Amino acid sequence: MNNFDQEVAARVESNGRDNALKVGARAFLLPSLNAQYSYNFSWMGRPIIQYPEDMIAMQEIIWSVQPDLIIETGIAHGGSLIFSAAMLELNAACGGSQNAEVLGVDIDIRAHNREAIEAHPMAKRISMIQGSSIAPEIIEQVKAKAAGKQRILVCLDSNHTHEHVLAELEAYAPLTSVGSYCVVFDTVVEDVPAEMIVARPWGPGNNPKTAVWEYLKNHAEFEIDNRIDHKLLISVAPDGYLKRVR
């Protein structure tokens, strides 16, 4: 680790103890959720519905892991698929896996979104499966796609109830390669006032973060990478960056 990297690591570690900084970040995060801030961004022309901080974190992870397969549950407009495919394209241009790909799973891939994704220049690295991510037949299709892959990154961002996310973790987290990540988005639901969650089956006490906590009780092969939380400060995935350590 060079001097600059050491300085970065020290600053990030300090962030975790800086209550004023964390309070300031939360003061932005809560109203930004109400304002649907994440809906304002796109990647290469497709809405991505992510916070820029989480996008940067994913770029750093994809570069460090060099995955040959990224599995994503939840597609929506396809921006995240395009983002992942673009990162894999950049990895390949820099000497990484030439055949790396991203697989998206969604219970309802709208026809206009599928058409836009399939027409995109990054489509050559993308495949999609329509169906519930926790249905046995869909899980088997994903496992078949993962067979023979050496470095797999998993991102869970579909139905945000505790039961659904826990089932996704049981199904897909084991596919994560050692040193890679299973990223669980929208864990922030646990940290916001209940009245902010309108007309949704999830909320405080029933959400991706509670599923993460329960999963980790019996899966010591994963650890929450708190360094990412301390680095980002503003994120929809606090406690959601799970690194496979064994």
DSSP secondary structure string for all residues of 97-114: -TT-EEEEEES---HHHH
Neighbours of 44 (CB within 10 A): 13
- pLDDT band (50, 70, 90) for residue 1: confident
Instruction: Identify residue 190 by its one-letter amino acid code.
Output: E
For 218-240, what is the mean pLDDT?
98
Domain that holds residue 194: 3-244
Query: Cα–Cα distance between 62 and 71 in angstroms, integer?
Result: 12
DSSP state of 37: G
Asked whether 219 and 173 are in contact (CB, 8 A), the reply is yes
Q: How far apart are CA 102 and CA 67, in angstroms?
A: 9
User: How many folded domains does the chain comprise?
Assistant: 1
| Whether the predicted pLDDT of 110 surpasses 90 | yes
Taking alpha carbons only, the member of 87, 22, 33 closest to residue 196 is 33
CATH of the domain at 84: 3.40.50.150
Residue 225's pLDDT band, with cuts at 50, 70 and 90, is very high
What are 76's two structure tokens?
Answer: 């929506």
Whether 183 has a pLDDT exceeding 80, the answer reads: yes
Contacts of residue 43, Cβ cutoff 8 Å, sequence gap at least 6: 55, 79, 80, 82, 83, 86
Q: How far apart are CA 172 and CA 166, in angstroms?
A: 10
Pairing of the two strands 181-184 and 222-224: unpaired
Q: Residue 41: which residues within 8 A CB-CB, separation 6 or more?
A: 47, 48, 49, 50, 52, 55, 79
Query: Closest by alpha carbon to 157, among 70, 218, 86, 217?
Result: 70
Q: Return the H-helix or E-strand segment holding 80.
A: helix 79-93
Residues whose CB falls within 8 Å of the CB of residue 83, separated by 6 or more in sequence, listed in order: 43, 44, 48, 50, 55, 58
Q: pTM above 0.85?
A: yes
Helices 52-65 and 79-93, axial angle in degrees (round to 10):
40
Structure token digits, residue 180: 């890679």
- Lateral strand order in the sheet of 241-244: 126-130, 101-106, 69-73, 152-156, 181-184, 241-244, 222-224
